[in-house]
């Protein structure tokens, strides 16, 4: 993993890897995580960039449709209050596995907005992220989005070959901005999975609410919510373990 890097447009040097919490250069020994510093930086920028675009785009679209925004939160509870934007709380959690926008509960009825608006808000974050990523990626954004779910399935089920993020993102060749955009596309598509705690699941539930004219989401059985959480966390854990162990 600590090999000579002579990518196009880059000076010759060493592709520094993350090794047990230390940076390894030429002559380093020990077990290394096969992730270059550029790849790690691209993943961090892409993931957190997706969170920012996702949350603020959703909030702005809500405001455009005159839906009150009670809270914008990065990560899941427990969280700390950073500051207020008008009447909206901006909160941050140390557990940055996603985030959410909470709209003001309705004074009358079960829904904070008509179902077309709620369906739009469920999809705003992922599609806003894809739109922003189209700036550095161009037409490639559609390709990366279409292959995202098959790639997730392979990561979760096919252990015949290791997960090589350096080859998948290629920051040394394409640049960190492009690699970060690819990461953000994958995160956006993950949020479109039809799980109750994700945007895709919220969209499906909103359509069911429109057909039945009943509030469903807050009345979902706990086993469904727990199953969604377990599936979501299981994928993240498997992915991280495969990267860490090189399997």
Please, which pLDDT band fits residue 61 given cuts at 50, 70 and 90? very high
Confidence of residue 19 (pLDDT cuts 50, 70, 90): very low
Residue 6 pLDDT more than 60? no
| Range 162-184 average pLDDT | 92
Residue 3: its pLDDT value, please?
A: 36
Q: Which two tokens stand for residue 4?
A: 């000579």
The token pair at 112 is 């904070």
What number of other Cβ atoms are within 10 A of residue 243's Cβ? 19
Spatial separation of the C-alpha atoms in residues 225 and 229, rounded to whole Å: 6
**Res. 110 pLDDT band, cuts 50 70 90:** low
**Percent of the chain residues past pLDDT 90, beyond the cut:** 56
Q: Which of 54, 204, 195, 188 is nearest to 118 (CA)?
A: 204
Tokens of 165: 């993020």
| Concatenated DSSP letters of 137-165 | HTTHHHHHHHTHHHHHHHHHH--SS---H
% residues pLDDT > 70 (the chain): 85
Arithmetic mean of pLDDT, 57-84: 91
Residue 109 has a pLDDT of 63
- Distances in Å between the Cα of 164 and the Cα atoms of 30, 102, 169, 242, 243 are 19, 36, 9, 9, 7
Instruction: Answer for the pair 98, 76: CB distance below 8 angstroms, yes or no.
Output: yes
| Residue 33: pLDDT band with limits 50, 70, 90 | low
Q: Identify the three-state secondary structure at position 98.
A: coil
* Helix H or strand E encompassing 167: helix 165-169
Find out whether 92 and 77 touch, Cβ atoms under 8 Å: no
Residue 73, pLDDT score: 93
CA distances from residue 142 to 115, 139, 155 in whole angstroms, order as listed: 27, 6, 20
* pLDDT mean over 132-147: 96
d(CA 22, CA 148): 31
pLDDT of residue 247: 81
Round the average pLDDT of the chain to a whole number and report it. 84
Alpha carbons 54 and 74: distance in angstroms, whole number: 10
Q: How far apart are CA 209 and CA 220, in angstroms?
A: 12
Q: In this model, does residue 198 exceed pLDDT 70? A: yes
- Quick one: pLDDT at residue 197? 86
- What pLDDT score was predicted for residue 17? 37
| pTM of the predicted structure, to 2 decimals | 0.82
Q: How far is CA 86 from CA 41, 71, 83, 90, in A?
A: 33, 11, 9, 10
The whole-number pLDDT of residue 56 equals 96
- Please state the rounded mean pLDDT for residues 199-227: 90
Residue 106's pLDDT is: 75
pLDDT at 219 over 60: yes
pLDDT band at 203 (very low <50, low <70, confident <90, very high): very high
Q: For residue 14, name the pLDDT band (cuts at 50, 70, 90).
A: very low
Contacts of 180 (CB under 8 A, 6+ apart): 41, 42, 43, 45, 46, 49
Nearest to 75 by CA among 54, 59, 60, 46: 54
Distance CA 234, CA 156 (A): 9
């Amino acid at each position: 993993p600590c090999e000579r890097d002579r990518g196009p447009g880059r000076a010759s040097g060493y592709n520094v890897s993350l090794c047990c919490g230390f940076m390894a250069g030429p002559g380093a020994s020990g077990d290394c995580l096969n992730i270059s510093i550029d790849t790690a930086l691209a993943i961090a920028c892409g993931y957190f960039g997706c969170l920012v675009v996702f949350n603020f785009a959703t909030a702005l679209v809500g405001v455009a449709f005159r839906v009150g925004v009670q809270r914008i939160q990065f990560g899941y509870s427990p969280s700390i209050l950073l500051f207020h934007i008008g009447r909206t709380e901006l909160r941050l959690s140390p557990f940055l596995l996603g985030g959410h926008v909470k709209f003001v509960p309705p004074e009358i009825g079960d829904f904070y907005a008509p179902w077309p608006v709620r369906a739009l808000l469920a999809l705003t974050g992922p599609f806003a992220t894809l739109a922003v990523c189209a700036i550095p990626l161009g037409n490639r954004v559609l390709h990366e989005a279409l292959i995202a779910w098959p790639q997730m399935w392979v990561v979760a089920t096919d252990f015949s070959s290791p997960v090589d993020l350096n080859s998948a993102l290629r920051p040394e060749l394409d640049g960190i901005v492009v690699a970060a955009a690819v990461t953000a596309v994958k995160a956006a598509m993950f949020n479109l999975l039809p799980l109750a705690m994700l945007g895709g699941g919220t969209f499906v539930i909103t359509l069911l609410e429109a057909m039945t004219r009943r509030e469903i989401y807050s009345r979902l059985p706990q086993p469904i919510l727990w199953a969604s959480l377990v599936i979501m966390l299981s994928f993240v854990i498997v992915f991280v373990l495969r990267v860490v162990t090189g399997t």
